Structure 1
């Protein structure tokens, strides 16, 4: 009843004011223009605007319902209180799901007030887009109608994280791409497991760098609701990326080290057949090859006490390996076709893989035997060695741990010599077994690194040849050979992806020149290709060798 009376009274005032003024009139606040108008609402209702400086009357009425912003309006230079605008009142005008952001009614005097209005968000259809509305009278000396409708950004921003990739310095990096720029996205928004994080970038493009700290899987993701876009929408949860570290990485590094050390131990063993062949001189021997190097120094093998020092270095994939072997031995010749002895070996091996490294110092000891078939140029040799090693590992290049190993080496070789005129053929068969068993240990992070047992078995069957070439001084020999190699690796507790477990077979071809000078020094060049017949594997080398006798 009261609202009806007020509405009628207002309409009467509007009419009187219009008749009296008829045009715009300067005035104080909310008085710059004579305004009586209305705009439609989504359901064809009306919003009324009124500003009459002559009478000091101003209001914004939604649908003629008597509701005015802020719960009051100016009437005849006074304030008349009314109910505030409500979501229910807006719903009656077709604004669905309205949220009132602000409303400002009469809050000063007509002469000093500069704004009367309401802002809210709502939809015009069910499930339709969200809009932001502002409906108001604004301006102290030149009042204007404000009637805006702006589409609201309601799309929550997303973040996409790329794969964690090693940097080569013990850390991992992942790219982070935001669907839209954000000014409040920080490193504190990252959820990281078993690592610490730093964050660089801006706008929509970032890079997270993770430093491993603990055992197991490193995981990275961005939880929901931790950063916002320009419209204030909070983000959705990102995808999760992870990588296995600590235990698995240590196992992989150790297994690659075991494989490299076992291969080097087998290939650097001193040849024992020479003790019955009686070469009778010491040797200083050095070579450099593509991807590997070799150094050898040995005493006179005809003496019952002998020593040998060898070393080589190589690279395969991302692993760089170096190895040194020192051997001292003594034997007793039973007869012209048999000798029995014992040897003690010391070795050092190192494998590097980016910032990660493994090295070990060890020893092996055991008997050996060399025999020659009577009346035949056929030589047999064999040895059985057992030893241990002290090893160090830095799986990330940050901390270092130690572990122990037990090792075995069993090797036998048969070599023949067949002359066909100037051509000499030397058939050979070499069979070796090497094991390298890593004992379990606890690393610096408190993780148990389980035991890994590794073994390598190789068999090489082939024929070498030599043929003299005519030169004016010294002796030159064309050398070469062709051999087949069969090898198998096996193990327990090993990590996949480093060493192939199973059988492999391939062939190797050699070709070279040996030039022996008059002072008995030797200059040799050799090229070989290894990997014939095995898919995905090849190894080739060009080498130069210099040997000085003394």
Structure 2
């Protein structure tokens, strides 16, 4: 165990939390006298021992919150050579949490059942999350040993499988983060289409949605898009709207480089619990095609922020800010088989979201929540075009495999691999734009997960 502090010290101003361990002692048993202080968030822990005072007043492990000033408040500080108070309440999780730590669990609080001479130990052990690094540690502050008393002041990284049990609020935030990340991936624009109008028209969705809509417009290097979706995972339902604006510079018919900004709104309800939020992302994108080849590449990297309202049970709501990122690379090619076009495609993406730590309306500390997912998607899209008197009618479809790995956060309902089938049609209305309809079945081959959905999109030319 690694000591975090063993330096001696004298009394300075503090405000007593009323959380300490004090017990009767036997002066003859001690080997010396000392006063030590140990930092703990915005508090400190005193471990004091003195053989010169009355036999029942000599050992103290006390938690105090710093307040500034020059005098003591409450009169509970132990000073060598004086008679201090005789008892305090045990150290509590609430008192430790008031020091700035999170997810506090008391492991033991031993005040000795008789005297220190017979018990040989006084102290507190607890497990808590440090908001500075969001890791969980085991803490211990104690006096140990009768003949040669030792000060114990340790902070050791918890070796358990998680960094502490997630609270219902954290579980709600983590679930909503994953739903929003998947909605974000689902509703991303097909940037390959900016370079190649013949690119795939079937949405490369990785979301458990029940539907989506799309309205897009493009004019030269400036383009915009609005998309929306509805999703369900277990008992949770969510809705999502994403607006995108972009512009690019065309180096040649085979390469463009641009920048885009996205704004979204998200809402999820799971019984009485809910989370809503708005946010933005911005960053560069690039699309390139190998000259003379039907092989096209797309890449984007976006970073942004979120502004959320969290209501764990519907009785109150808290505001919490967060950060996010999204990165994707995609490659697609084309093979013509008579009037049927087949397009193999592959996409890799990584998404992350995090919310900052905050204190809720009930004055409880809520630790920051981090969620991240990586996805790989591979499949075949196909289309068949028929000429009509009103315009071109194209039947579309796709079969994809999607593999999801939750790298941080609660495991999603769509973890590991699954299949996705899409069918649809697109109608080219000439100068009036084009209209598309599609439907999909997701979760093929995966136990415990199934999703169905439909989509409509309209492209306007001007």
Q: Which has the higher contact order (CA 8 A, sep 6+)?
A: 2
Structure-2 change in CA distance of 1:379 and 1:396 (3 Å): same
Distance 1:483 1:247 in 2: 34
Kept after mapping to 2: 8 A contact 1:522/1:547 = yes
Are 1:454 and 2:371 matched, yes or no? Answer: yes
The residue that corresponds to 1:412 in the other structure is: 329
Partner of 1:262, secondary structure, is helix
- Displacement of 1:340: 1.1
Please list the CA deviations of residues 405-436 of structure 1 after superposition, one character each: whole Å capped at 9, or x if unmatched. 11111111111111111110111111111000
Displacement of 1:375 in angstroms is 0.3
Residue of structure 2 aligned with 1:535, choices 425, 440, 447: 447
1:270 counterpart (183, 189, 200): 189
Matched, 1:438 2:379: no
Contact 2:236 / 2:268 at 8 angstroms: preserved in 1?
yes
What is the Cα deviation at residue 500 of structure 1? 5.1
Structure number, greater radius of gyration: 1
CA distance in 1, matches of 2:334, 2:261: 29
Q: 1:469 to 1:297 in 2, by over 3 A?
A: closer
Deviations 1:505-535 (A, max 9, x none): 0111223333445665545443322222211
Report how far residue 258 of structure 1 moved: 0.2
1:294: how far off?
2.6
Alignment of 1:539-550 (within 5 A): 539-543=451-455, 549-550=461-462
Q: Find the counterpart in structure 2 of residue 299 from structure 1.
A: 217
| 1:459, distance to aligned residue in structure 2 (A) | 0.9
Instruction: Give yes or no for contact 2:214–2:458 (8 Å, CA) kept in 1.
Output: no
Task: Give the alignment's TM-score, normalised by structure 2.
Answer: 0.58
Whether contact under 8 Å (1:405, 1:436) holds in the other structure is yes
Whole-angstrom CA distance in 2 between matches of 1:544 and 1:385: 26
Q: 1:456 to 1:306 in 2, by over 3 A?
A: same
C-alpha deviation, 1:371, in angstroms: 0.5
Matched with 2:226 is 309
Task: Count residues in correspondence.
Answer: 294
Aligned to 1:489: 406
What does the per-residue CA deviation read over 1:370-420, in whole Å, with 9 as the maximum and x for residues that have no partner?
Answer: 101100121111011111111111111111112121111111111111111
Where do 1:89-108 residues align within 5 Å?
A: none
Corresponding residue of 2:394: 477
- Per-residue deviation, residues 111-141 of structure 1 (Å, max 9, x unmatched): xxxxxxxxxxxxxxxxxxxxxxxxxxxxxxx
Q: Gaps spanning 5+ residues in structure 1: where?
A: 1-214, 218-245, 280-284
Q: 1:347 to 1:252 in 2, by over 3 A?
A: same
Could you say what secondary structure the match of 1:398 adopts? Answer: coil
Distance in 2 of aligned mates of 1:371 and 1:403: 39
Q: Does 1:508 align with 2:427?
A: no
Comparing 471-480 and 392-401, the one that deviates more: 471-480
Is 2:286 aligned against 1:369? yes
Matches within 5 A, 1:170-319: 248-277=167-196, 292-300=210-218, 302-319=219-236
CA distance in 2, matches of 1:333, 1:541: 36
Partner residue in 1 for 2:311: 394
Classify 1:544/1:337 alpha carbon distance in 2 versus 1 (closer, same or farther; 3 Å): closer
Taking structure 1 as reference, are residues 515 and 271 closer, same or farther at Cα in structure 2, changes over 3 Å only? closer
Cα 1:298–1:535 change in 2 (3 A) is same
Taking structure 1 as reference, are residues 383 and 523 closer, same or farther at Cα in structure 2, changes over 3 Å only?
closer
Instruction: State the distance in 1 between where 2:253 and 2:456 align.
Output: 35
Maintained 8 Å contact 1:247/1:448: no
Give the match's secondary structure for 2:172.
Answer: helix
CA contact under 8 A between 2:209 and 2:229: conserved in structure 1?
A: no
CA distance in 2, matches of 1:309, 1:394: 28
* TM-superposition CA deviations, 1:463-507 (whole Å, max 9, x none): 11112347565333332121111111121xx4x5x7359x51011
Retained in 2: the 8 A contact 1:216–1:247? no
Q: Distance in 2 between matches of 1:306 and 1:471?
A: 29
Please report how far the alpha carbon of residue 457 of structure 1 lies from its aligned counterpart in structure 2 after TM superposition: 1.0
Which residue does 1:349 correspond to in 2?
266
Residue 330 (structure 1) aligned to one of 237, 247, 266? 247
TM-score by length of 1: 0.49
Residues 520 and 415 of structure 1: is their aligned pair in 2 closer, same or farther, counting only changes over 3 Å? Answer: farther
CA displacement at 1:250 relative to structure 2: 0.6
